[in-house]
Amino acid sequence: MRSDADRIQKYDAKVSPTTVGLKIAARMTGMKTGFAGWCDFFVSKESQIQGILNGADVPTLFYPYYLSFGREIGKRTWAGISGDSLLALATAYHDKWVTFGLDTVALKAIAKDVFDITIV
């Protein structure tokens, strides 16, 4: 069995700035590419949501809540969830936000126009 000192030494070597820096540097290109794709996806979705909200005369005070609804669906879409599973999640998110006082017509328009999901 290893001693406490051996365990501490091994842990210190694993988390030293040099070791961690090399691991991050090796993954940096992929991390930047993934983040750029994520930003492109979400910025375009949020711009569409804001356009819908502007057209529906929703007070700007409520925009963050509608954007949160869109982010919940977008996060699941980005993760690869689709079909009936995505519809069930979107319906549950819709029901949640309606109980918080948001307009069902605006929420359904966001789901349909931005994510091509028809909530009934």
Both ends of the chain: CA-CA distance in Å?
A: 62
Angle, helix 104-115 to helix 83-99, in steps of 10 degrees: 150
pLDDT tens digits, residue range 63-98? 999 999 999 999 999 999 999 999 999 999 999 999
Q: What share of the chain is helix, strand, coil (3-state, %, to 5)?
A: 80, 0, 20
pLDDT of residue 90: 97
Q: For the residues 27-49, what does the mean pLDDT come to?
A: 92
- Distance from C-alpha of 60 to C-alpha of 115, rounded to nearest angstrom: 22
pLDDT tens digits, residue range 8-18? 999 988 888 88
Q: For the residues 13-37, what does the mean pLDDT come to?
A: 89
pTM, full prediction: 0.77
